[in-house]
Structure 1
Amino acid sequence: MTILRLPLPGGQTTIINQRPESTTIMLDAQTMFTFDAAGRLHGAFVQGSTFRRSLANAILEKRPGPPAGLSSRQRRFLTPAEVQALEQRAYDTAAEVLAHIQDQGDASAGQAPAAILAALARVASCNYDKLEDEREVYERLYKPVTILPPDQYLALYLQATEGLRLRCMQLLRLLP
């Protein structure tokens, strides 16, 4: 694990955490983006909401509800326009951080370990269009649902019919 604290103009400090499986960019206590080893957006935390991206390029938003606690969290899938905006923001942030490191020349680049520079370069090679292309490949492989997709290995149940949404009570009626 490699961590870099990078002061940005305006007094803000960005923290970059690079691991073999992921890279995280934390701008402040309210904004954080996590990318997988290939540079794809995996998750985000923005202004109190948590976002998780699936291999189908769908993003689930989880945010606190009125009463405190996990049971009151509100969940919804972002619209395609919201997905594009969030992904664009994440990749713009990563590009700005990489550009700042490169603009600082030897001073900043000397402080930035090669692993972080390589990880940020992989992130910079991704964008919304690339993720949409990967979504099409994903849908060709996993639709109709015949096998469990890799990002759903820890799921509680397998949805056997494409497009069928089950509520908890409906699911319980199906169990023996």
Structure 2
Amino acid sequence: MLEKVRAYNIKFIQKASPTSSDAFDFCRVYRFYTDAIPTCQKLKYIVRAEAHDKVFAIKFYAARDKKLDNKYNRTLGVYDYISALRIFVTCASLIPKLMKDFPDYSYIVNGARTIDINKKIENESETQRFRVYRALATRIIGTQLFEHYQFKEISSYLLVRKQPNINIEDEKNKIKQMFLDRYEIEDIW
């Protein structure tokens, strides 16, 4: 079934620099539009690939939510399963595009905690989005170029780029430490 799910057409918008409160080095910003459905007009989504050393953190949100603090956590509740998968597949389709310019980079995604329309907040461990990322990662990205790591406690999924003369486990630990330092989070990985 997944082979029938195609990505939306994604376009590069701009390169963005960090503000004083950002921990990333630079960011590439993309956009795509979903198809219109009976319950909703087509929506514009923004995808951010934030570079941290040699790791891109992939984030996305509906453009209409851009001013909201919880823009990465919102569930719109308008898509069926296949339409929602298309959004995730579109974000994953960014990796081969980024690899053309940044062939040695690794990738990380965090399955943001869902906040539904009733303001119910999902538990941080193994969120719905994390479970989708985990299910899609090996099928879409594969294991030839990347080693896959799951950090279930914080719903993060890491793809470490396999390279000659690089110890993958050491690279994973280096990336982990970089994020711990930049975001001052507890060492729960």
Q: TM-score, normalised by structure 2?
A: 0.30
Q: TM-score, normalised by structure 1?
A: 0.31
Please state which structure has a larger fraction of its residues in helix: 1
